[in-house]
Amino acid sequence: MKTIAIIPARANSKRIKDKNIKDFAGKPLLFWSIDIAIASNKIDEIYVSTENIQIKELVKTNYRLSEDIYGKPISIIDRPDTLSQDNSSVIDVLRHAINYLDYEECLIVLLYPTYPLRTDKLLNDVIDFAIMQGYGNTITVVKGDKKVYWYVDFTCGNKIQKILPNEIYREQDMQQPYKLAGAVHCIFSDDLTDMDQNGMSKHNFGYVIEEEALCLEVDDEEAFIRAEQIKQYRILSTICYYSNNSHYAKCHFNYN
The DSSP bridge pattern shows strands 150-153 and 45-50 to be unpaired
DSSP per-residue codes, 9-47:
--S--SSSTTGGGSEETTEEHHHHHHHHHHH-SS--EEE
**Helix (H/G/I), strand (E/B), else coil: 191:** helix
What is the CB neighbour count within 10 angstroms for residue 202?
9
CATH code that applies to domain 2-219: 3.90.550.10
Q: What is the pTM of this model?
A: 0.86
Tell me, what amino acid is at 244? N
Residues 138-149: tens digit of each pLDDT: 999 988 876 666
Residues 51-100: tens digit of each pLDDT: 999 999 999 999 987 667 888 999 999 999 999 988 899 999 999 999 99
- Between these two residues, 90 and 153, which has the higher pLDDT value? 90
Residues 17-64: tens digit of each pLDDT: 899 999 999 999 999 999 999 999 999 999 999 999 999 999 999 998
Give the span between the Cα atoms of 144 and 61, in whole angstroms. Answer: 41
